[in-house]
Structure 1
Amino acid sequence: MSLPFTLDQLEVFTLVLDTGSFSAAAHHLGVSQPAVSAQVRELERKLGTRLLERVGRSVGPTPAGVALAGHARALLESGRQAAEAVSSLAKGVSGTVRLGTGATACLHLLPPLLQRIRKEHPALHVVVSTGNTDDIVRQVELNALDLALVTLPVASRAVTVAPALRDEFVAVAPIGAEPLPAAVRARDLADIPMVLFEPGSNTRQQVESWLLAAGLRVRPAMELGSIEAIKEMVSAGLGCSILPAMAMRDADRKRLQTRPLKPALSRELGIVMRQDKPLTRGMQILAKAIMGQGV
C-alpha cells in the first residue's frame, strides 16, 4: 500500500505551520505561493480532510492538522537520518549545509575556510545566507538554516549556542589625521566625528555600551549598514570608527590607523542550531572548521 503523501508535502505542510502563512513558507523554500498551496491541497485531497484553516491573519492547523503535525515531523527527521546514514557509507562527505551569518564574517572569515572545505570535501556544498542576528536565528528556528554563526548573545530557547571565536574591536581613523594613541580610550574620541554601524545590531550595542561606560554618549555623524562603507567614509577623512578587527584587511591597515581599545572590547561569535536538529557529518565538518579559527 502506497503512502497518501510524500516527504516534500509534509515538509511544506510543517513549514506553513511554523511560519503561519503560505507566502512565508514559499519565501523560505524559494518557490511561488501557488506552488505551496498546491502541495497542501494535494495532501488534503489524498488524506480526505482539511489540515489548515485561517486563524485571524495567520494559518493554523485543524484538529486533523494537529494530529498529522507530530507524525510529519517525526517522519521528516527519520528521512534526514536515513539520508545521513547512507551518506556516511559513501566515499567522502556529500550533501548541503545551509549556513547563516553576518556580512563581516561572510566577507572576512568564510572565504578561506570554505575554500579549504571545498578542496577537502568537493561533494559537500555550503550555502551561505547573510542577515542580522535576530533574522538569522529566526531562520534557524524555522529550520530554513542548518547552522548560524552570529554575534552573541542570542535570545532564543529553541536553539543551542556554542561559543566559537572572539573578535577584538579596534579604533580606526584616517592615515592623514592626527595620530591616535597607542591604545585608544573613549575620551580620545570625544571630539572626533564618529561613523558607526546602524542602530539595532549587537555590534552597535556593544560599542555604545563601551563608550557610555566612560561617560561618552556619542551622536554619530553617520550611521551605515555596511562595515565596508564605514571604512570608506573613515578613509575619506569623514570621521573615526570602532570596528571588529576581523574586518580589517592588510590593505585597510595601510590606509587607516588601527589601534586597540583600552579597556579592551571584544565580541563573541557562536554557532547556533536548533535543539532538535541532528548533527550531520557536513554540519560537523563546517562547525569544526569555524571553531578552529580560535577563541
Structure 2
Amino acid sequence: MRELNLDQLRTLVAITDLGTFSAAARALHLAQPTVSLHISELESRLGATLVLRGGRKVEPTAAGAVLVERARRLLRDADDAVDAVQRHVEGRIGRVRLGSSTGVLVYLLPEVLKAMERAHPDIDVEVSILGSAEAMERLAQGTLDVGLVALPQPARPGIVLTHWRSDPMMAFVPRAWTVPKRITPQWLAARPLIFNDSTTQMYRLTMEWFADAGLSPRTRIELNYNEAMKSLVAAGYGAAVLPLEHAGEQLHQGVQVVPLRPALTRHTAVVHRPLEAVDGATRNLLLTLAQFRQV
C-alpha cells in the first residue's frame, strides 16, 4: 500500500467537520471534483468505505472515524514540523556558537546578549572563551558560527571579516607606583611586566609596540585571563598592557590606568561564514552585533 497523502487526509477531516463535499471544497479552495477524487483514492488505498454519501450531511463510517482521529494528529504534527522549520529558517529559533576573548565577554558581550534575549528569546547563544587564532580555526572547521577576534588576521577563503570596534590599549599599573602622565615603552620596559600568552594576538600587538622603540622586554608572567592580570597588577606584582574595553570599566582598587605614548589600539572584528551559508539564527546574531558596532 502506498503512503497516505496528507492533502487527502486534510480533505477527509474537512468533510467530516463541515458535513458536505461542497463546503469542504470551499474551505480548502479546491474544486469539488478534486475533493471527491481525494476521498475515492483514500478509500481505494485502504480498501474501506470512509464516508456515508447520499444524506443531507456526509457522515464518517466507523473506519472513517478511526482514520479522522489519527489524521487530526498527523496533520497537527505536520503543521508543527513546518512551523518549526520556518522558525528556524527565519531565525526565530536555533542555536549559535559564539567565540570571544574574556575581556570582550566581560565588558562588551552582556549588552549584546541582553539585546538578543529581548529580540530573539528562542535563540540560544552558546559562548566559548577562545583566543583569536583558535576562533578562526574553529570557524574554518565549522565548529563555530561567529567569532570576535583581534586584528589583523590572515585572510581565509570562505570566511567574512568585518571590523566591529576599536579600543585604546592602556598601561594598567599598581596604584602605589609613581607614574608619568603618559607611559612610554622605555619607562614600562624597566618594570616587571604581566603579558598575555605569547600565542595571542594581544601579545604580538604589545611586543610590536615595544619593538618599534627598539625594545624586547621580558615578562614576569604570561596568562590569558585579563581579569586575573588586573588582580596581579592590583597586588603590585607588575604592570600590564590591556585594552580599555568599557569607558565605565570598574577597576580594582589597587590599579591605575595610564595612556600610552605612542598610542596603541586594539581592533576587534566579527568573523563568520558568508551570509548565504549561515542559518537564520546566526544572521540575527550578526545583525544584533552590528547594532553595537563602532562607526
TM-score, normalized by the shorter chain, greater than 0.5: yes
Task: Give the CA deviation at 1:250.
Answer: 3.5
The answer (yes or no) to whether the contact 2:234–2:253 under 8 Å persists in 1 is no
The answer (yes or no) to whether the contact 2:175–2:254 under 8 Å persists in 1 is yes
Q: For the structure 1 residues 154 and 190, does the alpha-carbon distance in structure 2 shift closer, same or farther, using more than 3 Å as the test?
A: closer
CA RMSD of superposed structures (Å): 2.7
The answer to which of 200-209 and 108-117 deviates more is 108-117
Q: For the structure 1 residues 143 and 233, does the alpha-carbon distance in structure 2 shift closer, same or farther, using more than 3 Å as the test?
A: same
The answer (yes or no) to whether the contact 2:193–2:239 under 8 Å persists in 1 is yes
Q: Give the structure 1 partner of residue 289 of structure 2.
A: 290
Distance in 1 (CA, whole Å) between partners of 2:132 and 2:276 is 19
Q: Give the structure 2 partner of residue 143 of structure 1.
A: 142
The answer (yes or no) to whether the contact 2:173–2:238 under 8 Å persists in 1 is yes
Q: Which has the larger radius of gyration?
A: 2
Q: Give the structure 2 partner of residue 7 of structure 1.
A: none
Q: Give the structure 2 partner of residue 214 of structure 1.
A: 213
Amino acid at match of 2:86: V
Q: Give the structure 1 partner of residue 167 of structure 2.
A: 167
Amino acid at match of 1:261: L
For structure 2, the residue ranges without an aligned partner over 5 or more in a row are 4-81
The answer to which of 106-115 and 228-237 deviates more is 106-115
For 1:79-133, what per-residue CA distance to the aligned partner results, in whole angstroms no more than 9, with x for missing partners?
xxx999712787x822111111222212221122202211222111111112222
Task: Give the CA deviation at 1:228.
Answer: 1.5
Distance in 1 (CA, whole Å) between partners of 2:208 and 2:89 is 50
Alignment map for 1:1-295 (pairs within 5 Å): 86-87=86-87, 93-155=92-154, 156-178=156-178, 180-246=179-245, 250-252=249-251, 254-275=253-274, 278-295=277-294
Distance in 1 (CA, whole Å) between partners of 2:222 and 2:93 is 42
Amino acid at match of 2:270: I
Q: For the structure 1 residues 84 and 214, does the alpha-carbon distance in structure 2 shift closer, same or farther, using more than 3 Å as the test?
A: farther
The answer (yes or no) to whether the contact 2:160–2:271 under 8 Å persists in 1 is yes
SS in 2 for 1:126: strand
Distance in 2 (CA, whole Å) between partners of 1:148 and 1:238 is 32
For structure 1, the residue ranges without an aligned partner over 5 or more in a row are 3-81
The answer (yes or no) to whether the contact 2:161–2:271 under 8 Å persists in 1 is yes
For 1:125-148, what per-residue CA distance to the aligned partner results, in whole angstroms no more than 9, with x for missing partners?
111112222221121112111111
Task: Give the CA deviation at 1:248.
Answer: 8.1
Amino acid at match of 1:126: V
For 1:203-226, what per-residue CA distance to the aligned partner results, in whole angstroms no more than 9, with x for missing partners?
000000001111221001111222
After TM superposition, the score normalised by the length of structure 1 is: 0.65
The answer (yes or no) to whether the contact 1:104–1:247 under 8 Å persists in 2 is no
Distance in 2 (CA, whole Å) between partners of 1:257 and 1:103 is 20
Q: How many residues matched?
A: 214
Identity value in percent: 25
Q: For the structure 1 residues 84 and 181, does the alpha-carbon distance in structure 2 shift closer, same or farther, using more than 3 Å as the test?
A: farther
